[in-house]
Amino acid sequence: MDFSFLNALLDTLITSVSADSLAPVKIVKTIGWNSLVFFIFTVIGYFAAAGGLYAFYRLRPSSPFALSAADRTPAKIWNSIRNDVVLSVLSSGIFAFCAALMMSAFEQGYTRLYLESDRYSFWYLGVSLVLVILLQDTYFYFTHRLAHHPKCYKWLHQGHHHFKNPTPWTAFSFDPAEALIQAIYLIGVVFIVPMHFSVLCAVVLVMTLGALIHHFGFRLFADSAFGKWLGGWMVGPLHHWMHHRKYTAHYSLYFTFWDKVMGTQQDGYEEILSRPSVRELTLAIATDTAKTIEKPSPATVVPLSMSIKKAS
């Protein structure tokens, strides 16, 4: 398999890190420069992907999920996404810096990343990809639950739940501490698992697409057997949408496995997937939340006014 394009990209990013330029000052300058490059590309990608999806689904008048004309004014749109955008830009800076550190560690031979296509057999590319995703799914579940602990929530995760109806703009809206915790996973795993750079790129792509899709804020594959089957074992927009309304359920990243094992799966979730309308779906969640939360508080019960308004 030809990975020459990856070699060219990496050479561009780490040109200044070479055997004769490993002095501490030059390493710091290299990390700073690479951080800036990664930051610019990350922010551009964020605005292009989140903005494009938001415009297509929320601002396009013919979309079934479009905002009302009154809510499509620039002031109201900016007010609804401002917190997500600010936190996402801050998170992009943290991700970029961590990526630059990873690149420097790779060039100096400290990581287990590799470029040679023949170092391991071809099938190992798929095995390592699945392994890293499963490990990330586990890591995210337990750090996500920790973020919802009363002693951690305000400084670790509250920003992500600032607005209760997620949109693609929310996908990377992390508080700085949480952004660092999530970045640490990718930094750590490259020191443990032998991984081709193409696999690392694939993991980042899966993580990015997953975050965007999970924060669509509406149900995909509605009223279909395929949607119910897929939603039963994979996290999708509906699964995470419910988490933004009932903070005591649905902490998983890619698969529902850990929610089922740890007892944080919404009771009757598979049956809820079959609800024939958004109104019935919303009322089912609201009723279950009222039954299971004895002492409602802003941290656990979230208003459903927007969804009920949309349903009606």
Segments of the chain assigned E as strands: 113-114, 195-196
Structure confidence by residue, pLDDT tens digits, 67-102: 888 888 999 999 999 999 999 999 999 999 999 999
Residue 147's pLDDT band, with cuts at 50, 70 and 90, is very high
Which of 217, 232, 259 corresponds to the end of one domain? 217
Kind plus residue range of the DSSP H or E element containing 308: helix 305-311
Per the document, the length of the chain is: 312
Predicted pLDDT at 32: 92
Cα 197 from Cα 108, distance rounded (Å): 15
pLDDT of residue 297: 36
Whether residue 118 is found in the same domain as residue 47? yes
What is the CA angle 169-64-50, rounded to 5?
Answer: 15
Q: Across residues 157-185, what is the average pLDDT?
A: 93
Mean pLDDT, residues 201-218 taken together = 91
**Confidence band for 291, pLDDT divided at 50, 70 and 90:** very low
Q: Are residues 208 and 224 in the same domain?
A: no
Give the per-residue pLDDT at 306: 35
What is the DSSP-derived secondary structure letter of residue 59?
A: I
Count of structural domains, the chain? 2
Q: Are residues 304 and 232 in the same domain?
A: yes
Clarify whether residues 213 and 223 are in a common domain.
no
Same domain, residue pair 202 and 231: no
Residue 309: what pLDDT? 36
Most confident of 15-19, 71-75, 182-186: 182-186
Does one domain contain both 85 and 187? yes
Whether residues 200 and 232 fall in one domain: no
- Kindly report the backbone phi and psi dihedral angles of residue 199, in degrees, each rounded to the nearest multiple of 5, phi listed first: -70, -40
H-helix segments, 73-171: 74-107, 123-147, 153-156
User: And the tokens for 308?
Assistant: 């009920």
Report the predicted TM-score, pTM, of the whole model to 2 decimal places.
0.80
- Distance spanning both ends of the chain, measured CA to CA: 54
| Full domain range(s) for residue 292 | 219-312
Average of per-residue pLDDT values in the chain: 82
The percent of residues above 90 in pLDDT, for the chain, comes to 53
- Tell which residue, 173, 83, 78, 182, has the closest CA to residue 137: 182
Show which of 153, 182, 217 is a domain's final residue: 217
Is the separation of the CB atoms in 236 and 230 below 8 Å? yes
Of the candidates 107, 85, 81, 127, the one whose C-alpha atom is nearest the C-alpha of residue 18 is: 107
- Cα separations in angstroms, 71 against 165, 280, 290: 14, 24, 29
Q: What are phi and psi of 255, to 5 degrees?
A: -125, 155
Distance CA 239, CA 133 (A): 19
Do 108 and 22 form a contact (C-beta atoms < 8 A)?
Answer: yes
- Name beta bridge partners: 255: 234
What is the Cα 60 distance to its own chain's centre? 24
293 and 205 in one domain?
no
* 112, 194 contact by CB (below 8 A): yes
Residues 126, 103: one domain?
Answer: yes
Mean pLDDT over residues 166-178, rounded? 94
Residue 103 in this model has a pLDDT that exceeds 90: yes
Give the domain-ending residue among 200, 217, 234.
Answer: 217
**Together in a domain, 54 and 111:** yes
Same domain, 195 and 271: no
For 216-269, how does the pLDDT look when each residue is reduced to its tens digit (9 = 90+)? 877 665 555 666 666 678 898 888 888 988 888 899 999 999 999 999 998 877
Element holding 52 (H helix, E strand): helix 24-54
SS3 category, 14? coil
249 lies in the same domain as 212: no
Residue 198, C-beta contacts closer than 8 angstroms, at least 6 positions apart: 3, 6, 125
Position 165 scores a pLDDT of 83
Q: Could you say which DSSP state residue 131 is in?
A: H
CB atoms within 10 A of CB 267: 11
* 144 has pLDDT over 90: yes
DSSP 71: G
